[in-house]
Amino acid sequence: MTESTYNLLVLVFPVLVPLTLAAITAVLWRAPAAQRAVSIIGLGVIVGVSGLLTMAVLQYDILAVEFGSWAVPFGISFVADRLAVALVMITAILALCVGIFSLRDMRQTHIRGGFYPLFFGMITGVNGAFLTGDIFNLYVWFEVMLITSLGLLVIGRTKAQIDGAIKYALLNLFGTVLFLMAVGLLYGATGTLAFADLARILPTLEPTPGLVATAILFLCAFGIKAGVFPLFFWLPASYHTAPFTISAIFAGLLTKVGVYAVFRVFTLLFAVEASGIREIVAVVAALTMVTGVFGAAVQWNIRRILSFHIISQIGYMLMGLAVATPLAIAGAIFYIVHHIIVKANLFLLAGAIRHASGTDDLKKSGGLLKSHPWLAVLFVIPALSLAGLPPLSGFWAKFLVVDASFKGDMAWLAAAALFTGLLTLYSMTKIWMEAFWKEPGIERSQPRKIPFAMTAPIAVLGAITLTIGFYAEPFVQFAEQASITLLEPDVYIAAIFGAEAQVGEATALRSEP
C-alpha cells in the first residue's frame, strides 16, 4: 500500500469504522455483553483512526478521496480540511468519553433498546456530515443523524422522552425536508452536487430569485438543525428528557453539525456578504445568544439550564460567520471545538450531580462541595469555560469572536456577546450555589459516591479544556489556518480538481468582498 493509498483510506475510516461497529452491534442484537465489549474496543479504534487522519491533514493541509474511483463531480468525495478533521477528532474523543460514562449511566433496557447500534450510527452520521464533499450526501448523513438521535432520545420510553421526541422529530423532519428541497433546487440550477464543482459553477450564475431563495432555504434548514433563534424550539423541548449520556453527546455534537454545514455552505458555495444574508446572520446570532441565555437564566433544572445554553452558545459561533473576517472565522472554529468539549462535559457533570444528589432540580440538591470536593473542581472547569472566564478555553473563543466583531464594525454584536456572558456566568453560579454550596438537599442527605467510569471521562474532558486554555497558541494557530480553506474556496477546489481549476469569474451570490 502506497503512502497516498494509506492517506486516502484513513479518510474513509472515521465513517466506515463506526458504521461497521453499528452493523456488528446489530448482529450481536441478542448479546448485550458482547455489544459492550465490541463498543469499548471500537471507540478506541475510532479515536485511533481519527488521530491518523488528523496527522495526515496536518501534513498535507487538505485531503480528498473519491468513492468508487469515480472522479468528482460524477462520484462522491470525502474532503478533510483542518476544520473537518478537528471536528472528527473531537467527535472521536467525545464518543470515547461518553461511551465510558455510559457504562454506568445506561441501563440494561437502554442497551436492549439498541443503544450501541444507534450510538455508532450517530457517530457515523456526524462524521459523514463533517467529511463529505457532496451536498446530497450531506443530506443523507443528516438523516442518519436524525433517525439515530431520535432512537436514542426515546430509548428509555418515558412519557417525557416520547413527548420530547415528537417535537424533536416533527420540527427536524420539517427541517430536513427543507434541506432536501434546497438540494433539489441547487441541482436544478447547477446540474451538479459536489461542493467543489458547485463552488466553481455557482459564481458564474446570475443571482436569480430562485437561487437566492435556495441559499435562504439552506440557511433555514441548517438553522433548525443548529438551533438558532427563532427555530430552536425543538431543542429545549427534548434535550433534557434523554439519559445524561445521550444528552451529552447530543449537546456536544448535533447542533454543531448544523453550524458546520452553515459554515461550509456559506463560505464555499454562497457568500454571506451578498443579498443581506450577512445582516440576517448577525441579527440571528445576537438574538440566539440573548434569548438562549434568557431561557437558561430562569431555569432551575440543571439539564434545562444547559439545554438553553446550547442555543445561546450557537449565537457566538454564528457571530463569526456574520463578521466573516479571517479572525472571526477562526474564532468561530475555535468556539465550535471548545464548545463541543465543554457542553458535553457539563451534561456528564449533570449526570454525576444527579447520581450523587439524587436530583437535577437545583431547588432540591445541595451539599456537594463538602461531600465531593473533586467533583466541584471538575464542575468549575467547564462551567467557567462556558461563561468565557479566563484563562479557560471559552475565554479565547470569546476573545476571538468579540475582538473580531469590534474590528469588523459590529460593536453592537460584541456588546450582545458580553452581556450574554454575564448571564451565562450567573446561571453557572446558580448551579454552583445550589448544588455545591447549599446544605445537602432534601432528595438525598447523604450524597452517593460517584463511580470512576463517570468521573474519568469528566476529568479527561476537563483536562482538554484546561489544555486549550493554558496552551492556547497552537489551537489559535490551528483555527487561523483552518479558516483559510473556508475563506479561499480555491484551496478546496484545487484539492479536488487540481491547482489549475479556479473559481468562476462572474460574480453571483458570491460578491467580491
Total of residues contacting another protein (CB under 8 A) = 184
| Smallest distance from another protein to CB 368, Å | 11
For cell 448535533, the residue is 254
Q: Does 112 bind another protein (CB under 8 A)?
A: yes
Residue type, 186: L
Q: Which residues pair with 413 in a beta bridge?
A: none
Residue 48 or 75: the one with the smaller Cβ distance to another protein is 75
User: Looking only at Cα atoms, what is the longest distance across the chain?
Assistant: 70
Q: How many C-beta atoms surround the C-beta of residue 49 within 10 A?
A: 23
Phi, psi (deg, nearest 5) at residue 361: -90, 120
Examine residue 412 and tell whether it contacts another protein (CB under 8 A): no
CB 365 within 8 A of CB 438: yes
Q: Return the number of the residue (148 or 465) whose C-beta is nearest another protein.
A: 148
Q: Does 165 bind another protein (CB under 8 A)?
A: yes
Taking a C-beta distance cutoff of 8 angstroms, is the pair 223, 284 a contact?
A: yes
Judged by CB under 8 A, which stretch of 37-45, 88-96, 233-241, 248-256 contacts another protein?
Answer: 233-241
> Is 20 or 460 the residue whose CB approaches another protein more closely?
20
The least CB distance from residue 270 to another protein, in Å, is: 11
| Minimum distance of another protein from residue 443's CB (angstroms) | 10
Q: Beta partners for 134?
A: 194
Answer yes or no whether residue 349 interacts with another protein by CB under 8 A.
no
Instruction: Identify the residue among 3, 33, 209, 498 touching another protein (CB under 8 A).
Output: 209
Nearer to another protein, 422 or 499 (CB): 422
Q: How far apart are CA 143 and CA 179, in angstroms?
A: 10
Among 177, 456, 463, 506, binds another protein (CB under 8 A): 177
- DSSP conformation letters of 384-410: HHHTT-TTSHHHHHHHHHHHHHHHTT-
Of 188, 142, 170, residue with least CA distance to 237: 170
Q: Which stretch binds another protein (CB under 8 A): 38-46, 177-185, 261-269, 488-496?
A: 177-185
Q: Give the containing element (helix H, strand E) for 333.
A: helix 326-357
Q: Which residues pair with 64 in a beta bridge?
A: 79
List the one residue from 294, 326, 460, 490 that touches another protein (CB under 8 A). 294
Task: Pull the grid cell for residue 89.
Answer: 477528532
The span from the CA of 38 to the CA of 116, in Å, is 9
**Which residue, among 42, 200, 187, 191, has the nearest Cα to 123 in the 3D structure?**
42
- Cell numbers standing for residue 28: 450481536
Burial of 512 (0-12, 13-18, 19+ CB in 10 A): exposed
Grid cell 461542493 — which residue?
195
Instruction: Determine if 81 is a binding residue for another protein (CB under 8 A).
Output: no
Q: Residue 227 CB, nearest distance to another protein (Å)?
A: 12
Minimum CB–partner distance for residue 185 and another protein (Å) = 5
Work out which of 163, 273, 488, 490 binds another protein, going by CB under 8 A: 163
CA 342 – CA 365 distance, rounded (Å) = 22
State which of residues 42, 252, 382, 421 lies at the interface with another protein (CB under 8 A).
Answer: 421
In the complex, the smallest distance separating the C-beta of residue 47 from another protein, rounded to whole angstroms, is 17
Nearer to another protein among residue 37 and residue 177 (C-beta): 177
Using the contact rule CB under 8 A, the part of the chain among 42-50, 86-94, 151-159, 490-498 near another protein is 151-159
Helices (H), 61-134: 82-105, 108-112, 115-131
For helices 255-264 and 326-357, give the axis angle rounded to 10 degrees: 170
Cα atoms in the 13 Å half-sphere on the side-chain side of 28: 19
Among 34, 45, 143, 283, binds another protein (CB under 8 A): 143
Question: Which one, of 144, 169, 151, lies nearest residue 112 by Cα?
Answer: 151
* Contact flag: residue 136 with another protein (CB under 8 A): yes
Q: Is residue 456 a contact residue for another protein (CB under 8 A)? A: no
Residue 445 binds another protein (CB under 8 A): no
Of 68, 446, 500, 505, the one binding another protein by CB under 8 A = 68
Instruction: Decide: is 256 part of the binding site for another protein (CB under 8 A).
Output: no
Query: Would you count residue 158 as binding another protein (CB under 8 A)?
Result: yes
The span of 65-73, 254-262, 318-326, 458-466 binding another protein (CB under 8 A) equals 65-73
Which of 43, 348 has the CB closer to another protein?
348
Query: Could you tell me the smallest distance in angstroms from the CB atom of residue 365 to another protein?
Result: 12
The answer to whether residue 255 forms part of the interface with another protein (CB under 8 A) is no
44/191 with CB nearer another protein: 191
Asked whether position 344 contacts another protein by CB under 8 A, the answer is no
- Is residue 2 near another protein by the rule CB under 8 A? yes
Q: Distance between CA 496 and CA 351 in Å, rounded?
A: 44
**Alpha carbon distance 124, 17 (integer Å):** 8
**CB-based contact 58:478 (threshold 8 Å):** no
> Site residues for another protein, window 309-338 (CB under 8 A)?
none
Q: Report the C-alpha gap between 253 and 47 in whole angstroms.
A: 16
Contact flag: residue 241 with another protein (CB under 8 A): yes
Site string for another protein, 350-389 (x = CB under 8 A): -x--xx--x-xx-------xx--x----------x----x
Our finding on whether 144 is near another protein (CB under 8 A) is: yes
